[in-house]
């Protein structure tokens, strides 16, 4: 497959686990009833958020680092075809093999063929968002190949036949007792007396995985970065499972999105400061593994890399949304998002939850795909995600642009106007003329009658009922601001210019401080 990443004639739509299969408000309403989930989410997100604030405050040049990270990513997106060719040349020169995949179907087929060539039916995996995105585990399982997740949280999710709910802590929705029950049921030779003590749980998982590491002939990983000038790949992690997967097996297959390229080795220094502080609130990751092709007889002898598009060129072509590809999967935006904190990751449907998922999934698949058009509305637009993002992705701005795309897409297929269309048309008619607005303001007393004795409006019909379903509206004033201002002007003129000047003068102190 040749590289053709300029502006493809037909841009690939993202496939795999990138879709919301029900509208976000419906899914969120269900998830909000899960008290365990909400308690776990609040504890975890607040803990990570506080740690992040502490380590970020240690760096006086943090904002400069964010700016550097943003500019490096902008440069990558502007030169992506050139950098990918440079990376391919360097990677193959060191003994690696590059495979190009347009979409999830192609990527899964490539990985399957590589595994089958080894004759193995079981592989070990490093935590990888790209392989979750393409549904690799499910695909391999359907073909009789067992892919063992070796990250502890991913292992819990896999053994529990569940889905991750957070990019960084996938099993955030499980408590210790639930994990103990999963291990007892799913891990061979797990003690029936296993308790929910974290040390016992970790020891059980370690014993299970150690055997898998030592027997595995094939490993599958993702990659945090790919350095174009050297053909180097990098994985950062916290448990050491990645190091075992990347060094012990004979065959190493990596799946990486094409946007993960960095131009130069020295660019890595910026992101090795931004990523750990933004993700786990640590100064550096416990394990940082970098490999450049084969290294003699040491380590894997068959090095493969699957470069994945799966909608990335589609996102790249969106001039307003392309900066979503700058994401380094740190999850800082999730940990500060009031919507994510309450609903959790499953409500988003896609592999990518939270604020970044609300923009990335529709950009990769197109706004009209399944129920992904509801994701850009999963935000209060408070801007906390923008402030926390280490590469300064303006998520609120992209959310608004995607909402506009959704409205335009709906207009193209609907023949009759919706309630919202009628309301917006009416607002445009009224607000474009002072005379019309003045006329409508005469109806304010009628609103006070609707509010009743308690002076609160608790119910409105139609689409406006979405507001009153969760909050009251105070009764409108007796007269409009325009009328009040006119009355004030009239009063001041009747009192003469002297009174007007006195009213504009600074008031003199009339009492003690603090009164």
Inform me whether the pLDDT recorded for 305 exceeds 50: yes
Inform me whether the pLDDT recorded for 135 exceeds 70: yes
Average pLDDT over residues 99-118: 98
For the chain, residues classed under CATH 3.40.50.10420 are: 24-324
Of 9-18, 208-217, 301-310, 406-415, which range is least confident? 9-18
Q: Which helix (H) or strand (E) holds 256?
A: strand 251-257
Inform me whether the pLDDT recorded for 119 exceeds 50: yes
DSSP for 300-328, written as a single string: -SEEEEEEE-TTHHHHHT-TTTGGGGG--
Segment 35-87, tens digit of pLDDT: 888 888 898 899 999 999 999 999 999 999 999 999 999 999 999 999 999 99
Burial call 480-492: b when 16+ CB within 10 Å, e when fewer: beeeeeeeeeeee
Inform me whether the pLDDT recorded for 92 exceeds 50: yes
* Length of the chain as a residue count: 515
Query: Alpha-carbon distance 492 to 494, whole Å?
Result: 5
Evaluate whether the domain defined by 24-324 bears CATH number 3.40.50.10420.
yes
3-state secondary structure of 46: helix
What's the confidence (pLDDT) of residue 201?
97
3-state secondary structure of 391: coil
455 contacts 449 by C-beta, under 8 angstroms? no
Query: Alpha-carbon distance 226 to 271, whole Å?
Result: 12
Distance (Å) of CA 281 to CA 46, 57, 284, 394, 395: 11, 11, 9, 22, 21
Give this prediction's pTM. Answer: 0.86
Q: Which residues contact 101 (CB under 8 A, 6 or more apart)?
A: 1, 107, 110, 306, 307, 308, 309, 310
Q: Which residues contact 11 (CB under 8 A, 6 or more apart)?
A: 311, 313, 314, 317
DSSP for 67-130, written as a single string: HHHHHHHHHHHHTHHHHHHHHHHHHHHTT-EEEEESSHHHHHHHHHHHHHHHT-SEEEE---HH
Torsion, CA 296, CA 300, CA 301, CA 304, rounded to 10: -130
Number of Cβ within a 10 Å radius of residue 47 = 12
Average pLDDT over residues 99-104: 97
What's the confidence (pLDDT) of residue 513?
41
Angle between helices 152-159 and 176-186 (to 10 degrees): 70
Average pLDDT over residues 472-483: 88
Inform me whether the pLDDT recorded for 117 exceeds 70: yes
Question: pLDDT category, 137, cuts 50, 70, 90?
Answer: very high
146 contacts 121 by C-beta, under 8 angstroms? yes
């Amino acid at each position: 497959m040749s590289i053709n990443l300029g502006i493809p004639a037909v841009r690939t739509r993202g496939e795999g686990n990138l879709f919301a299969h029900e509208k976000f408000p419906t899914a969120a309403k269900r998830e909000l009833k899960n008290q365990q989930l909400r308690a776990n989410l609040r504890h975890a997100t607040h803990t990570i958020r506080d740690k992040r604030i502490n380590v970020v405050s240690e760096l006086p040049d943090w904002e400069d680092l964010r700016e550097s990270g943003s500019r490096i990513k902008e440069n990558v997106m502007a030169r992506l075809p050139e950098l990918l060719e440079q990376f391919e040349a360097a990677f193959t020169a060191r003994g690696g093999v590059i495979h190009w995949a347009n979409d999830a179907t192609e990527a899964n087929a490539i990985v399957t063929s590589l595994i089958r060539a080894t004759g193995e039916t079981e592989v070990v995996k490093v935590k990888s968002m790209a392989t979750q995105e393409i549904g690799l585990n499910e695909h391999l399982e359907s073909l009789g190949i067992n892919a063992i997740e070796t990250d502890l949280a991913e292992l819990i999710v896999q053994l529990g036949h569940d889905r991750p709910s957070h990019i960084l802590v996938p099993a955030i929705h499980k408590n210790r007792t639930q994990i103990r029950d999963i291990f007892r049921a799913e891990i061979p030779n797990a003690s029936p007396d296993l308790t929910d003590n974290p040390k016992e749980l970790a020891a059980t998982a370690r014993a299970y995985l150690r055997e898998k590491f030592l027997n595995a002939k094939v490993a599958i990983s993702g990659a945090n970065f790919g350095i174009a000038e050297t053909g180097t790949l990098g994985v950062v992690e916290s448990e050491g499972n990645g190091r075992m997967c990347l060094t012990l097996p004979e065959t190493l297959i990596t799946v990486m999105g094409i946007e993960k390229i960095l131009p130069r080795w020295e660019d890595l220094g910026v992101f090795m400061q931004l990523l750990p502080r933004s993700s786990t609130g640590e100064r550096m990751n416990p394990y940082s593994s970098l490999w450049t092709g084969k290294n003699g007889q040491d380590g894997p002898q068959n090095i493969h890399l699957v470069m994945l598009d799966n909608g990335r060129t589609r996102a790249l072509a969106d001039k307003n949304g392309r900066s979503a590809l700058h994401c380094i999967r740190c999850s800082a935006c999730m940990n500060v998002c009031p919507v994510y904190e309450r609903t959790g990751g499953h409500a988003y449907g896609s592999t990518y939850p939270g604020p970044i998922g609300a923009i990335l999934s529709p950009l990769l698949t197109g706004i009209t795909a399944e129920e992904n058009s509801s994701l850009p509305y999963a935000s209060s637009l408070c801007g906390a995600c923008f402030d926390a993002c280490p590469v300064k992705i303006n998520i609120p701005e992209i959310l608004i642009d995607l909402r506009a795309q959704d409205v335009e897409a709906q207009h193209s297929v609907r023949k009759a106007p919706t309630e919202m269309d009628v309301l917006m048309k009416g607002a445009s008619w009224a607000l474009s003329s002072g005379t019309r607005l003045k006329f409508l303001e005469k109806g304010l007393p009628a609103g006070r009658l609707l509010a009743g004795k308690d002076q609160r409006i608790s119910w409105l019909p139609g689409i406006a009922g979405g507001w009153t379903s969760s909050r009251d509206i105070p009764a409108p004033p007796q007269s409009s601001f325009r009328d009040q201002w006119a009355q004030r002007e009239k009063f001041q003129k009747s009192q003469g210019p002297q009174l007007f000047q006195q009213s504009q003068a600074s008031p003199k102190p009339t009492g003690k401080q603090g009164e």
